[in-house]
Structure 1
Amino acid sequence: MKNNNIPEEAFDWYDSYAHGGMDRRTFMNKLAGLVALGYSMTVLTGALMPNYALAEQVSFNDEDINASYQNFPSPQGHGEGRGYLVMPTKDADNDNRKFPVVLVVHENRGLNPYVKDVARRLAKAGFIAFAPDALFPLGGYPGNDDEGRAMQRTLDREKIQYDFVAAAKFLKAHGQSNGKLGAVGFCFGGYMVNYLAAIESDLINAGVPFYGTPASKELRANIKAPLMIQLGELDERVNASWPEYEADLKAANVDYVMHMYPKAKHGFHNDSTGRYDEQNAQLAWSRTLAFFKSKLA
């Protein structure tokens, strides 16, 4: 999707709106101010709001994968969770074939089509992927991000975190898992990857947080898993947390690498919005796959 020369501040407004710093009315009023300067509201909302028809890179009908929904127990969370499980079909009739497994964690709005497609991309690359939906206790992702974002805010944050810990353990114990678990997440999901690495030292074996803030400082000394940190240069809100986080990773002797993508915005990997940066997203994804193949073999 092209940015159509949208002013940079419009993306900043959307980021603030998407993360609770601005209500929808204020956000739309700010966009209306740009309309008064000659911008089209259709162009503005088309560039800023997600269009999930653009996000499908791997069809759910792809012959190389098999997708289904699976429930899992979460006694410390909301009691039960549900996620989107995608299996590689190569050698699928060989029940003894083991695969590395990767947990996929969505943004702060539930399991939308973009994140499901990320899970399919991983399965296409030879991983078992599992993408839980934090909104399952409320009936699941509602079909639009605005409502999903509002729903997720009503849930207990600690219980959501325990749901993802339970999902990670469920996936790691899968009958065709090789016992090595990776985690990748975006925005809130990036935070969750950092949290999963910190809450239990041996829970994940590799993590790739995309533009996610770190776990609380008192947990960071627990981190043992190698991390690949993916950041966009223009993402001032998340990047402000990086210097302290890096110092703590160094203090804990964590095997980590940070990639800062030039001129990339928060959400640059999400190919359903105008924040998408195709060149940086493809590079970040190729690095992600190589990292998981190296660490989870």
Structure 2
Amino acid sequence: MERKNAQEFDQELLYLYDYYAHGQIDRRTFLERAAKFAVGGLTAVALLEMLSPHYAFAAQVPKDDGRVASDYVKYPSPDGHGEMRGLLAKPANATGKLPGVIVVHENRGLNPYIEDVTRRLALEGFVAFAPDALYAVGGYPGTDDEGRAMQSKLDRAKVTEDFVAAAKFLHTRADCNGSLGVTGFCFGGGMANTLAWRLPEIVKAAVPYYGGQPKAADVPKIKASLLLHYAELDERVNAGWPAYEAALKAAKIDYEAFIYPGVNHGFHNDTTPRYDKAAAELSWTRTVAFFKRKLA
């Protein structure tokens, strides 16, 4: 399938898909509301298929890329779901200890796009670890619809503890130099914000992509430097940004924020039409440079 661009869809339809992807409306409601956009022989079902992720597009660093050493690694999460698992990736020729980066997936488990992002970080000289919140219930099931349904049923507090445990696990690994960052997308962006205040003595740098913001009372606990990426058209997430920025300023947190013009939530995800190549590449260049600077 050829990847479409966001500009080929009505913005209202893109918002409908955002509501569906984040559990605010169900599939039936999406199809009913999307029907008015199904013209020229298209159906609402076809529109949903076009808007959904196609992971063949996310192979910037293939699984068998010889430059990367990667494997699935288990770790303990006593306050979460017990035993958990994630993808660990680092440069194949790595010697000695490297800065670590936790990579947090969206609201649907450890899918191929997030695994690819993890390998991208490995190529940049980090030991990157991407936990799968769905491991306790069988792991990412192979489709985002199933993954989204599975993740929505998990105990959110336990899921948070699973990612806290993952950060502690990576921080103490022999191949990590103890300098730890975290990045995440959507749900993962919110989790990156959470880990920044939950683990102020461990997390030195956090890069949330269009992530939900923490409560104002938790912001002063942050000691990490923050690089925040937002999409101009992401009304849902952006609604919380003014209050977050005010809290960051009041607490004198080291932060930098970018709002990318004319792009949608999910603009970094190169498997959907919401992907914006220019914004994704610029934000990623900034992310890598930020981690190299803060985790050196």
Aligned residue number for residue 180 of structure 1: 179
Q: Secondary structure at the match of 1:219?
A: helix
Q: Secondary structure at the match of 1:9?
A: helix
1:68 equivalenced with 2:67 (yes/no) = no
Q: Kindly provide the amino acid, as one letter, of the partner of residue 255 in structure 1.
A: D
Q: Secondary structure at the match of 2:24?
A: coil
Would you say the 8 A contact 2:164–2:199 is kept in 1?
no
Report the CA distance between 1:230 and its aligned residue: 0.2
Aligned residue number for residue 2 of structure 1: 4
Give, in whole Å, the separation in 2 of the partners of 1:203 and 1:213: 21
Q: Secondary structure at the match of 2:80?
A: coil
Q: Secondary structure at the match of 1:100?
A: strand
Cα separation, partners in 2 of 1:26 and 1:99, compared to 1, 3 Å? same
Give, in whole Å, the separation in 2 of the partners of 1:188 and 1:247: 22
Q: Secondary structure at the match of 2:141?
A: coil
Give, in whole Å, the separation in 2 of the partners of 1:17 and 1:43: 15
1:145-160 to 2 correspondences below 5 Å: 145-160=144-159
1:78 equivalenced with 2:81 (yes/no) = yes
Give, in whole Å, the separation in 2 of the partners of 1:61 and 1:23: 37
Q: Which moved more, 1:59-68 or 1:43-52?
A: 43-52
TM-score under structure 1 normalisation? 0.96
Give, in whole Å, the separation in 1 of the partners of 2:283 and 2:175: 27
Give, in whole Å, the separation in 1 of the partners of 2:271 and 2:194: 26
Q: Secondary structure at the match of 1:205?
A: strand
Give, in whole Å, the separation in 2 of the partners of 1:243 and 1:275: 24
Give, in whole Å, the separation in 1 of the partners of 2:177 and 2:199: 19
Q: Which moved more, 1:200-209 or 1:100-109?
A: 200-209
Report the CA distance between 1:46 and its aligned residue: 4.1
Would you say the 8 A contact 1:196–1:203 is kept in 2?
no
Structure 1 residue ranges (4+ consecutive) displaced by more than 6 angstroms after TM superposition = none
Aligned residue number for residue 207 of structure 1: 206
Aligned residue number for residue 20 of structure 1: 23
Report the CA distance between 1:200 and its aligned residue: 2.6
1:181-260 to 2 correspondences below 5 Å: 181-260=180-259
Cα deviation, 1:146-195, whole Å, max 9, x if unaligned, reads 01000001110000000000000001111011110010000000000000
Q: Secondary structure at the match of 2:36?
A: helix
Cα deviation, 1:121-149, whole Å, max 9, x if unaligned, reads 00011110100000001000000000100
Identify unmatched segments of 5+ residues in structure 1: none
Give, in whole Å, the separation in 2 of the partners of 1:215 and 1:39: 45
Give, in whole Å, the separation in 2 of the partners of 1:149 and 1:46: 16
Give, in whole Å, the separation in 2 of the partners of 1:111 and 1:231: 22
Among 57, 60, 63, the alignment partner of 1:57 is: 60
Give, in whole Å, the separation in 2 of the partners of 1:69 and 1:282: 27
Among 39, 42, 65, the alignment partner of 1:40 is: 42
Aligned residue number for residue 288 of structure 1: 287
Q: Kindly provide the amino acid, as one letter, of the partner of residue 64 in structure 1.
A: R
Give, in whole Å, the separation in 1 of the partners of 2:109 and 2:84: 12
- Percent of residue pairs identical: 54
Would you say the 8 A contact 1:60–1:66 is kept in 2?
no
